[in-house]
Structure 1
């Protein structure tokens, strides 16, 4: 299967500082990739570099055979990069429905399809962004990214601060979206326990480089790897 996203020898950062050094990563469609690492290892910088908001010092980012390395963030969004940032960045003064229709592009993911995935958003369709709970705001942020009809869905700490029942609902939805839509998803997550059950594959970053790349099942079977790189003991307990 051809790669949907191919990152080759990427060097990127902010200003004069290089955060990612010689980063190479390939993802086929239908795959959920979890990016783990301690704070400051480059996880968010990787997401931001695919979105196009970092400085690229070298390397390439290819999306479905198309080199997007020199594209602006808005051009990358139209090309198929869907982004759910840690801050969610929903339009708080717009309604749920307006948030999605404001950015929608033609494709299989319509507002109505998002409502079927997240019925709670349909119930809140006329509520403003600032009237939603944290979980509802995260659903909206994901829904808005989907109405762009992306090829790649990037999620930065999507479960942070949410109740366990909402986390379970969101992770189930992300798995369904990825495997049923022919896209790939990259999820940055602090908590390895949460994500191992969803991800197909896991990479662990240290100092801006990939130090471990393995199927999720392999990490479940060998929790010593997580303990060594993340300081996580008993990562398979949940």
Structure 2
């Protein structure tokens, strides 16, 4: 597998405030990385820094062989970085279909193929964004990122606030996207054990620094890691369709 993203000694924050204090990691094309940590440890800031919407204060980022440290968010998106922020950022005054056709780019992920992934959205293709449930809005946010045909998908707390049945439906779709389709992803999620089942790599942030790194399987096999850094005890079984 070829190198996709390399983050070296990254320091970043907002204005003069520093949140990340020298974060380094790398991932190859086709890999999924679980980004873990308690609230306020810098996870969202790291995602935002890869997108390019924070203040760069040191270190570097390379994406698909190019130095993107000083590139704009638009330039990074054009290179293939897709983003699903916590706020979802859907167009609430447009229909589901308009939300997708407004941003779609040529590639394997077409609007119809995205509807195949989320049949519920096909049923609501004429509904406005503000007429959708929270779970449907999250599905639309993920789908909007997919039809941009990214090389790397960044997902910030994709299961947050969703009813368990909806969260499981979305998790099965994510498993198809990253395991079945091989799309690289970085996933921030408080429900660590659910996401680790999808992850090739995992890192834990604390106070803006990487304090633990390993494989998803390795983290799951050592409950002390999650207990120490996240306060997570015994996990639950994954929903049907998610790799065990």
Q: Distance in 2 between matches of 1:59 and 1:182?
A: 29
Q: Secondary structure at the match of 2:21?
A: strand
How far 1:233 moved relative to its partner? 2.3
How far 1:202 moved relative to its partner? 1.4
Q: TM-score, normalization: structure 1?
A: 0.95
- Structure 2, unmatched stretches of 5+, are 238-244
Moved more, 140-149 or 186-195: 186-195
Moved more, 173-182 or 49-58: 173-182
Q: Distance in 2 between matches of 1:48 and 1:123?
A: 32
Q: TM-score, normalization: structure 2?
A: 0.93
TM-align CA RMSD:
1.3
Q: Distance in 2 between matches of 1:136 and 1:173?
A: 13
Report the counterpart of residue 110 of structure 1 in structure 2: 110
Where in structure 2 are the equivalents of 1:48-197 lying within 5 Å?
48-197=48-197
Runs ≥4 in structure 1, deviation > 4 angstroms? none
Q: Secondary structure at the match of 2:107?
A: coil
Q: Distance in 2 between matches of 1:142 and 1:201?
A: 21
Report the counterpart of residue 27 of structure 1 in structure 2: 27
Per-residue deviation, residues 41-60 of structure 1 (Å, max 9, x unmatched): 00000000011100111222
Any conservation in 1 of the 2:84–2:155 contact (CA below 8 Å)? Answer: yes
How far 1:121 moved relative to its partner? 0.8
Per-residue deviation, residues 64-97 of structure 1 (Å, max 9, x unmatched): 1122211111221111110000010100000001
Any conservation in 1 of the 2:53–2:73 contact (CA below 8 Å)? Answer: yes
Q: Distance in 2 between matches of 1:73 and 1:208?
A: 22
Q: Confirm or deny that 1:10 pairs with 2:10.
A: yes
Per-residue deviation, residues 80-132 of structure 1 (Å, max 9, x unmatched): 11000001010000000111111111111110110111111111111000011
